[in-house]
Each structure stands twice: as structure tokens, then as C-alpha cells.
Amino acid sequence: MSNGRVCTVPLRIINRPIMPEIDEEKVTTFMEDMEAGDDFPPIEVLRVVLPPVDDGEIERRYYFSFGGCHRYEACQRLGRSSIKCKIIDVQGHIIRQHLGASCPF
């Protein structure tokens, strides 16, 4: 994928390392609008692709989202398995810089 490509991503693979402050009224409104078929802008997801550690392994991919918390939460509560995302490729050191010791790689 290239930077900025919009696609559908499974919710289960998106890491949300910063606990959001949720506005319940906003989430409820988003849920109602989503059920009515309204289209929402994609959330931005940062993707890190790391090379294999050992021979025979495949590259490791990590997906992080720091925004779009209300859209993400609305999708989760509606039982949806995926969300529309704008994928932005970043280097691993960018994520480590923000997450420090809690970075998964």
C-alpha cells in the first residue's frame, strides 16, 4: 500500500495505544448515522512494516491509530469487524519515539 491509500482494515489489528476520552453523545450519534448508511471520512492509521527477524519469517506489520476514536468506538459498538482507514506508512522509530517502552517492537 502506498501512503494515503484508503481501504478497509479489520478493527482487531489496529493498535490504539492512547486511551481516548469518549464523548458518549458523539458515539451514539455516529452509531445512528452509520446505521442510517451515512458515509464517514476514513480514520488515519499509521502502518509500520518491519523486516523478518529469522529466515523463513514474513515481514511484520503493525497498525496504529491515534485519532478517529469516536468513529472507531461506534464501529466496535455496532459489532462491525472493520473500518475505513487511510493508511500512512511510517518508520518504526517514529512510533517508538511516541510510545517509548510500551512500543510492541
Question: Which positions make up the binding site for ATP?
Answer: 68-71
Residue positions forming the annotated binding site? 68-71
CA atoms within 13 A on the CB side of 44: 8
> Grid cell 452509520 — which residue?
34
